[in-house]
Structure 1
Amino acid sequence: MIDLYYSPTPNGLKLRLFLEESGLAHRIVPVQLSAGEQFAPEFLAISPNNKIPAIVDHAPRDGGEPVAVFESGAILLYLAEKTGLLLPEDARARLEVTQWLFWQMAGLGPMAGQAGHFRVYAPEPLPYAIERYTQEVKRLYGVLDRHLADRAYLGGDTYSIADIACYPWIVPHAGLGQDLAATPHLQRWFQSIAARPATQRVYAGIDDPYTKAPVLSEEARKVLFNQGATSAKS
C-alpha cells in the first residue's frame, strides 16, 4: 500500500496519473496547502522540503520498514522501478526517458510555475516577470514540439513517466499564456494523453489552478507565498 500525500497541483497530479495507470494500491492523504498543513511536523518527517507530493511505501521491495520518498521526479522513478511499469528496461530507452523526466523537473515545472504565479497570483502585475516567464514557457513548449515531431511520446513509441511528468504542466497552457495550436506536435501528444482513461479519471472535477485560480485570503497568501526558513522548520 502506498500513502500519497497530495494536493491537486501539477506535481501532485503526476503521482495520481502514475497510480491510476499502474493500478498500484494506494491511499490518498490530502494536504491542505493554504491551511499550512505542509508545515506540520508529521509531514516534514516525510517531506523535509515541506512540499507535496510525498509518499510512504508500506511494502517496499526489500521487505523492510516503510520507505518515505519526496520530490515528484524521485517518486516517479521509485514507483516505476518498484513496479517495472512506465520505464523501459533497455538502457538507451531508459536514458531517453530519464533525461526528459529531469528536464521537466529542472525546467518546465519551475518556469511554468513562475509564469503562473506572476500571471495569476502576484498581488500586482509585474510586466517584466510576466513577459520573462511566459516567453520561457513558450520556448520550452517549442522544445517539446520539436522533440515530438517524429515520435508518439517523449521516450519514443511507449508512454512513460516522462510523459506523466510533463503532461500536468501542459494542462494549464491557456492560463500560462500559451496556444497549443502553435505547437502541433505537442498538441497531438497532449490530446492523446488527455484521451487516456486513467487521465480522464484523475482529472475529473479538477480545476486548472491558473485559469480558475481560487480567491485567496491574506492569511492563505502568506502561508503559500511568504514562508521563510523559520516557517519551514516549525
Structure 2
Amino acid sequence: MFAKIISILFRPRHVIIADELQASTSKHLLIRPFLPLLLLIVIGGMGVMLGLMFQQPQSAIESTIINMPGNPNLDRLQSQLAEARADLDIKTHQVVELNVIMQEQQKNLALLQSEKHQLEGILLMRKKKGLNILDASLQKETPEKFSFSTILVKGGSYPRHVVGSIQFISMNKQGNPLALKFEDGSDRLSYRVESHTFLHGTLLWPQAKSEAAQYITKIYAVLIDSEDREIARKNCSIKEEPL
C-alpha cells in the first residue's frame, strides 16, 4: 500500500493541452504530483514560523523596555525601593527598641508589685504580737547548696527590739532534725529586729552530698529567742536550681 502511494506521488504524469482552433497543435507537459504538495507544506511551515516570531509575550517586551539602560521609570522605581527598604529598617529597629523597653518596664512593674506585696504583708504582721516570719524562700544552687531569703517582722511597739537566732532545719537519713550550715560553718544566724528585717545568705547540707538530693524534701525556718526557745517556724518554699 505504501509503495503504491509513493508510486502515485513520484511517478511523472504526461499532460497534453490541445488547441481548439488548431487541432493539430498540442502541448505536452510532464508533471510530478508530489511537487504541489511539497510547495503547500513549505508555504504552511513559513506561515507558522512567522506567526510565532510576531507573538512575543507582552510581559517580556515590557521587561525589556524597563531594563533598558537609562530608563527613567527604572531609576524612579529603584529609588523608591531603596527608600522603602531604609524606612523598613528604621521601623524594625524602633520595634526592637520598644520591645526591650516594654520588657524592662514589665520587670520593673513585677518588682514594684512584689515590693508592694511585701510592704502590705509587713504592715499586716505588725499588728500581731511577737516576732513572726513573713517569708522564707530557698533557691537551690546545687543539690547540697541553697541561697536563702527571709523577712522577720516584730509586732507591737514593746519591747523596742528583740534578739535571737534563726536556723534552717531538715531531716537526715534516720528522720531526725538536721540543721543546715551557714557559710561560716555555724548552724545559727543571729538577728536583731526593731520593726522588720531582711535576712539572706547561703546554706549548705552538712552531711554526705549524695544524701542531699534524696533526703532534702522540706526545710523549715525556725526562730529561737534569746532564751534559746523556739518562737516561730515556717515551711520554706524551695525553687529548683536555675538553668
Considering the TM-score relative to the shorter chain, is it more than 0.5?
no
Q: TM-score, normalised by structure 1?
A: 0.20
1 or 2 for the larger relative contact order (CA 8 Å, sep ≥6)? 1
Q: TM-score, normalised by structure 2?
A: 0.19
Higher radius of gyration, 1 or 2 = 2
Higher helix share: 1
